Amino acid sequence: MAFAEFSVSIQKPVHEIFDFILNGENNKVWRPSVIAVKKESKGDTGVGTKFSQTMKGPFGKSISGDYEITGCDADKTISFRVVSGPARPTGNYAFEEDEGETKITFTLSYKPTGLAKLMDPMITKQMQVETAALVNVKKHLES
């Protein structure tokens, strides 16, 4: 099973960071692998909201990485599942506020099946890159 986790502390209130992450259209601001992203669902963003997302794939090709929010507890957690693309991991953001600083932890997990099992090390490495991009949220929000 492929798994990756990364945490960072940001000198901002939890609600500001939560709202930034919840708005999936911000992905292109902090995730270098995201080429384009658009909210597809109408109304407030929460459980059931879908985002279409185009990402940089192997060999310079674009791949789909559309996702849906599966859990949302204000200022505490955001969960999602990728619904298109070659790998379809689930992910979670956990938020903890402590004296004006917020720790955010981003996890991704994926259980490959069939021939995809052979790609597990490559998938794990890419998921580590994705979660580590969380430092870009810190840079963006603290600048």
pLDDT at 124 (0 to 100): 87
pLDDT digits (tens, 9 = 90+) for 31-64: 999 999 999 999 999 999 999 999 998 888 999 9
- What total number of domains does the chain contain? 1
Amino acid at 30: W
The per-residue pLDDT for 75 is 97
Domain that holds residue 12: 2-142
pLDDT tens digits, 99-143: 889 999 999 999 877 776 777 778 888 899 999 999 999 999 999
Quick one: CA torsion of 107, 110, 111, 114, rounded to 10 degrees?
-160
DSSP 8-state secondary structure symbol assigned to residue 84:
S
What confidence score (pLDDT) does residue 121 get?
79
CATH number of the domain at 106, please.
3.30.530.20
Question: The pTM is what?
Answer: 0.93
Residue 13 phi, psi (nearest 5): -65, 150
Backbone φ/ψ region at 116: left (φ over 0), alpha (ψ -120 to 50), beta: alpha
